Structure formats: structure tokens, C-alpha cells
């Protein structure tokens, strides 16, 4: 586990200084209108602190995948306008990232002023962590604050590269992620239960192996469960299944027994004729999925089993839905698990991505201890990998 005792925005004097703050403003947009501003709201405590301390605030972020070109479909202008409303003060929008407009606006900032650079991914150098680009970005500021946990697992110029040229600290959001997730992994209240869903075992090998060293129980649902069924000779029809990972599934089961970790798999499933929202569907036991049918959710008996197993938990980490939770016919499993986690009384951490979206959409968000802002980052954090966007920050 990397050193997580990092300096925060409160450990450095920001007053009167130009501060480059990396946020995660990668928000969903429809017709240039922000449809969910959660990520912007999550950044407000750090931004407001910097304003209150009289810093000259230069915000930066990526949005979407513009592939290293100035593509105005991915402009951050709607974010600047929305931030302006949330902060109750103007947020100047730069026309470029490290060009003359950005530099002029940064130089003109007064104490407590805020500006936003254009999408850092308009430059291909950003994702390459190009030193020359990092240096140009850093040249506009005197301090770097990283508050974008969602991209902390990426070694990009705006997440890690600039720290080579500026004193670097974390904002409140990264501080919160480190404190809650780090605390749960290092010293969990027991029993410690992990729930893993999603499509593929291969995406989560490292996480499973790391968790088997720490948890008392591992619950597996979603598409990845069918690889386990197949590994033990069950028919899975046309369900998603990684045939080249059957040995790995058997190895995981063996390791869970050796480590005395209870491993729960679905006992029944909701199966469908086709991968379609309105497909014909039925419930069936997990070991008898017929040819031509595919599993798209956990069944009622599994919902009961999983819910009962979560009732006495002390700490729960959940990453990945139990089925195709965005479709009403196949969302019951994810909803039942979300309800059980919410009612468990455990320290509950939702590891970003699809499970976070499901919990929000189903109305259980306020019942969870912590919903991580980073899907990939939270998985790598749980796995114990070093996150470049955190490793680059100054140690306390």
C-alpha cells in the first residue's frame, strides 16, 4: 500500500498564490446541458476553501475523449457557466489550455478569482504525460492541488506531471477518499464483506486476490458469476463467460477456502432469450441455464441469501452491479443488494462506476457511508496499487 499520509490544501499557504487545481469535471452532457452535476458539486469544498483563503484559482479538468484535438463537442464552457451559478461569482473560461488566452487570464487573476482552462485532453501530450506540456501547464501557477480522485490512477500531465514543477497537495475530495477507503482496508470493522459484480472476472483479478487477504466474506454476482459456474461444470447457455479464465475461477475458490473466506455465488438467476430490455425472461436455478438463454440478473433466492449475509456486516465494499441494472426487468437484484447494504448499519463503501450510478438512481445514496468518485481508481486503490495522482503529492 502506498504512503497515504499526504499534505492537504490546509497544509500549505495558498493566500495570494496562483493555484492550479485539477478537478474531475467529466460530467454527462446532453445538447450542451449538464445532466448530472455530482462531480462538480464534489469539487466545491476545495474550490471554496481556495477562494476564502484569497488564492488565484486556475481550475483544470478533462471531459470525454476528444483524442488530443480541439473538438468543441467536449468544451468545458458549460461547466464554467454551471460553476459560476454554484459559486455565485464569475468563472472566467479560457479559450485554450496553455495558449495565450489561458496565460493572459491566469496572469490577470486577483485574489479570490476563479478561472477554468479548456479541456486538458484537447492536447495529446496530456495523456502521454509529456514533460514539456506539464511544465507549460505548471508555469501558470505556484501550487498544484489534485482533487480528481477519478483520474488519480492515470499518470497524465494534469494529474501527476505538473507535480514535478510545483509543490503538490491534495484537495478535500481526495483526502476523503484516502481516509475512508484507506481506513476500511487497513482497519475494517468486522465482519468485512466485499461484493463484486460487473461483467468480467479478468477485470477484477487483482482486486479479488487483494480482498481475499482481508475480507471475511466475498459475494460474487453479475456477469462474472457465470465464469465460476462454467468452471464447475454447470451449463451457462449464452451468458457472458470467460472460457479462458475457468482455471482462474477454480483457483479463486480454492484460495478462498484456504483463507477461510466465505465465498457466495448466486443460487438462482433471471435469464433472458436475448440481450434486450424487453426480452422474454424467467427465473431458474443457477446450475441449469438452458441453451439459448442468458443470465441477466440474480434471482429472488439469491437476493434473500445475499441480503441475509449482509445483515450483520461491519464493513462492506461494493463494486459492480448484480445484473443489467439499467433495465427495469433485470434491476431487482442490484436494488435488493443496495437496500440490504443501506440497511446493514455497516460502514458501506460503493466503489464508483456502475454500482455508484445504480445506488444513486435507486435512491439509496444518502444511506451509504461513502460513494467513491472513481471507478477504475477505487479498484486500483482497493488492489493496493500505487496511484500516480496521489503518489506525486507531498508527504506529511
Say if CB 351 and CB 357 are below 8 A apart: no
Active site residue 376: yes
Active-site annotation holder among 38, 48, 200, 259: 200
Active-site annotation holder among 353, 374, 375, 389: 353
DSSP H helical ranges for 159-315:
172-186, 205-212, 225-231, 246-258, 300-310
- The one-character DSSP state at 171 is -
Active site residue 389: no
Active site residue 16: no
- C-alpha dihedral sign at 32, 69, 120, 91: negative
Cell digits of residue 188: 475494517
Integer CA distances (angstroms), 103 to 58, 74, 95, 116, 138, in order: 10, 21, 10, 11, 11
Active-site annotation holder among 6, 18, 22, 39: 39
Reduced to 3 states, what is the DSSP secondary structure of residue 26?
A: coil
Active-site annotation holder among 54, 68, 314, 376: 376
* Closest residue by Cα to residue 306 from 271, 268, 270: 268
Pair type for strands 114-116 and 56-60: parallel
CA 156/CA 129 separation, integer angstroms: 4
Active site residue 39: yes
CA 359/CA 313 separation, integer angstroms: 18
- Active-site residue set: 39, 200, 353, 376
Amino acid at each position: 500500500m502506498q504512503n497515504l499520509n499526504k499534505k492537504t490544501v490546509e497544509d500549505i499557504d495558498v493566500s495570494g498564490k496562483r493555484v492550479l487545481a485539477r478537478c474531475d469535471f467529466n460530467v454527462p452532457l446532453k445538447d450542451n446541458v449538464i445532466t448530472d452535476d455530482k462531480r462538480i458539486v464534489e469539487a466545491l469544498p476545495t474550490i471554496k476553501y481556495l477562494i476564502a483563503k484569497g488564492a488565484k484559482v486556475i481550475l483544470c479538468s478533462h471531459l470525454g475523449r476528444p483524442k488530443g484535438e480541439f473538438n468543441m463537442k467536449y468544451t468545458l464552457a458549460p461547466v464554467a457557466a454551471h460553476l459560476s451559478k454554484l459559486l455565485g461569482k464569475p468563472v472566467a473560461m479560457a479559450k485554450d489550455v496553455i495558449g495565450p488566452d489561458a496565460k493572459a487570464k491566469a496572469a490577470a487573476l486577483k485574489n479570490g478569482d476563479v478561472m477554468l482552462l479548456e479541456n486538458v485532453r484537447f492536447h495529446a501530450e496530456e495523456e502521454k504525460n509529456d514533460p514539456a506540456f506539464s511544465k507549460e501547464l505548471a508555469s501558470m501557477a505556484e501550487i498544484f492541488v489534485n482533487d480528481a480522485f477519478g483520474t488519480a490512477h492515470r499518470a497524465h500531465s494534469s494529474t501527476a506531471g505538473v507535480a514535478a514543477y510545483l509543490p503538490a497537495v491534495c484537495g478535500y475530495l481526495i483526502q476523503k477518499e484516502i481516509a475512508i477507503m484507506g481506513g476500511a482496508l487497513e482497519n475494517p470493522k468486522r465482519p468485512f464483506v466485499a461484493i463484486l459484480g460487473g461483467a468480467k472476472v479478468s477485470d477484477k483479478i487483482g482486486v479479488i486476490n487483494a480482498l481475499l487477504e482481508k475480507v471475511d466474506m466475498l459475494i460474487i454476482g453479475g456477469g462474472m458469476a457465470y465464469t465460476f459456474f462454467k468452471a464447475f461444470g454447470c451449463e451457462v447457455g449464452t451468458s457472458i463467460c470467460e472460457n479462458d479464465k475457468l482455471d482462474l475461477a477454480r483457483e479463486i475458490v480454492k484460495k478462498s477456502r484456504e483463507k477461510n473466506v466465505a465465498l457466495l455465488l448466486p443460487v438462482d438467476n433471471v435469464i433472458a432469450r436475448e440481450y434486450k430490455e424487453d426480452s422474454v425472461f424467467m427465473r431458474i436455478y443457477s446450475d441449469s441455464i438452458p441453451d439459448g438463454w442468458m443470465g441477466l440478473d440474480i434471482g429472488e433466492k439469491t437476493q434473500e441469501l445475499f441480503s441475509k449475509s449482509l445483515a450483520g456486516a461491519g464493513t462492506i465494499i461494493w463494486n459492480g452491479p448484480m445484473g443489467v441494472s439499467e433495465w427495469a426487468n433485470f434491476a431487482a437484484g442490484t436494488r435488493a443488494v443496495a437496500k440490504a447494504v443501506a440497511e446493514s448499519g455497516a460502514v458501506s463503501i460503493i466503489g464508483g462506476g456502475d454500482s455508484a450510478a445504480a445506488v444513486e438512481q435507486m435512491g439509496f445514496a444518502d444511506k451509504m457511508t461513502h460513494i467513491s468518485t472513481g471507478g477504475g481508481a477505487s479498484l486500483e486503490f482497493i488492489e493496493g496499487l500505487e496511484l500516480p495522482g496521489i503518489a506525486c503529492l507531498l508527504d506529511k
